[in-house]
Structure 1
Amino acid sequence: MDKTSSFFDLVGFDMDGTLLDTSGDLAAAVNHALASAGRPTLTVDQVTPMIGGGARHMLAQGMAATGGCTDAELDVLHRRLLDYYEANMVVLTQPYPGALDALDALAARGVTLAVVTNKLEHYAKRILEELDLTARFACLIGGDTLGPGRGKPKPDPIIEMIARCGGGRPAFVGDSIYDVKAAQAARVPVVACSFGFLDRPVGELGADATIDGYAELIPVLERLAAI
């Protein structure tokens, strides 16, 4: 089906807390690193607000919550976290309810789909492959794809997403302040997911719209596209 002329040409998605509920596997990796350092472990609910800025940032917050650490200690524990996560990436991870139906509905409209995440690109690629989602997306941009210091909240990944997907009118869907700030800096309308890994109330993210579930995504995008 041809894309409706008034709709978006391209919709990009964050991964963790937006497309996929990765909280269980990420919390397990954080807790593996914490336990190896003799620290108390954290609940999934405690870890989820720490997700979004990359693995090292997530672990640093976990260490801060359990007593702090030096940069040297964080270096060692970061490697332990990554080693564990590499072996246990898709134990509990799965798409959010209704996410695949929303992707199908967008694809049926002729919309190009993309993923822009702060997760390392090869990790994100492997997860999409193991969940059989790779073919749905025209491009994948990870936190390290463009080099150090160029992940979200910088606009660079969103701008690169648009370029790689051939241009057109874009929108972005995410769950964190990193997503909202990146999209805004790239001058792209952004939808925030209230079910994601929030570190503050969703209304405080400053997104153009919010959704409480994927059944709301298409109507919300239609409204934003008409503005």
Structure 2
Amino acid sequence: MHPLLDGIDLVAFDLDGTLIDSVPDLALAVDAALAELGLPVAGEARVRDWVGNGSLKLMERALRHAAGVGEASHSEAPGTGRRGGGPVVGEASQESIDKALLERAHAVFLEHYGRDPGAHTRLYPGVRECLDALRARGLLLALVTNKPHAFIAPLLEGLGLADHFTLCLGGDSLPEKKPHPAPLLHVASHFGLSPERCLMVGDSRHDIAAGKAAGFLTLAVPYGYNHGEPVRESGPDGVVESLVELV
């Protein structure tokens, strides 16, 4: 058992980039929405750098890219990381995106993604073994994602994980989402646990920031979606290459 689990009663997991690689399906939906709006598509490599702050922010980044906003200041190819702490692709400019266009693009994205959100989504290696082992040891498992809550159940059911989590929170379950600590504090309160007896496991700086702000211990995986940044730079309490190392 990983040392970070000593004294832990509950483990909260992020979803996208931590348990599942959902970018293939997300990218298809993003590109379908852009195409329907008559805009240039983004491609899977770019979308991989845009995931992590919820679907509305995802489409905002896609629209910024489609409009050519801020690309000149981001010279790297998509998916290759960032230079010198520069901005995430599609966020180099503070120029506003038309609100009505964003709302329409988001609605079209949700329509496309909702048709089959798990068609090409797969578990990362070691995830099932980790979750099975933690549950067998009697630990409480929670899911805290910025993905809209409506997509959580279909994905978990399709992957055979519907019974693993006692509580699931989406990005729209509460007024605040990660990196705000509110979702994690809600999880701890729901189970009557003090935050120091809880562990947050994620792939991005948003997961680590939320965990630290909530008083959770934090564990990171380096293979997910962190906007091209090494997640170790966020200062998690631990890092594992695969979640099977947790057990």
Quote how far apart the aligned CAs of 1:12 are. Answer: 0.6
Contact 2:221 2:231 survives alignment (8 Å): yes
- Structure 2 match to 1:151: 177
Contact 2:144 2:183 in 1 (8 A): yes
Alignment of 1:44-83 (within 5 A): 44-67=44-67, 68=69, 69-83=97-111
The residue number in structure 2 matching 1:186 is 214
Q: CA separation in 2, counterparts of 1:61 and 1:70?
A: 12
Q: Which structure 2 residues correspond to residues 23-34 of structure 1 after superposition, within 5 A? A: 23-34=23-34
Name the counterpart of 1:13: 13
Amino acid at match of 2:239: T
Q: Is the 8 A contact 1:139 1:165 kept in 2?
A: no
Task: Give, as a single letter, the amino acid of the residue that structure 1 aligns with 2:169.
Answer: I
- Secondary structure, aligned partner of 1:26: helix
Q: Is 2:132 aligned against 1:104?
A: yes
Unaligned 5+ runs, structure 2: 70-96
Unaligned runs of 5+ in 1: 219-227
**Equivalent of 2:240, from 195, 211, 216?**
211
Name the SS of the counterpart of 1:212 in structure 2. Answer: coil
Shift of 1:131: 2.2
Q: Which amino acid aligns with 1:98?
A: G
* Distance (whole Å) between structure 1 residues aligned to residue 44 and residue 191 of structure 2: 35
Aligned in 2, Cα 1:8/1:203: closer, same or farther, shift over 3 Å?
Answer: same
Is residue 2:188 matched to residue 1:162?
yes
Q: C-alpha separation between the residues in 2 aligned to 1:213 and 1:6?
A: 19
Verify: 1:35 aligned to 2:64, yes or no.
no
**Counterpart of 1:134 in 2: which secondary structure?**
coil
Deviation readout 1:32-60 (Å, 9 max, x if unpaired): 11112222222322111211100010111
Residues in 2 aligned to 1:43 and 1:203: alpha-carbon distance in whole angstroms: 27
SS at 1:52 equivalent? coil
Deviation at 1:205, TM superposition (A): 2.1
**Residue aligned with 1:11, SS:** strand
Helix, strand or coil for the counterpart of 1:114?
Answer: strand
Equivalent residue runs for 1:110-121 within 5 Å: 110-121=138-149
Which stretch shifts more, 36-45 or 101-110? 36-45
Which residue identity does 2:210 align to in structure 1?
Answer: A
CA contact (8 A) 2:52 2:226 kept: no
Cα distance in 1 for partners of 2:116, 2:159 equals 14
**Per-residue deviation, 1:216:** 2.2
- Inter-partner Cα distance in structure 2 for 1:7 and 1:94: 31
TM-score of the two chains, using structure 2 as the length reference: 0.81
Quote the RMSD (CA, aligned, Å): 1.6
Greater shift, 199-208 or 7-16, is seen at 199-208
Is contact 1:138-1:165 (8 Å) kept?
A: no
- Between the aligned residues of both structures, percent identity stands at 36
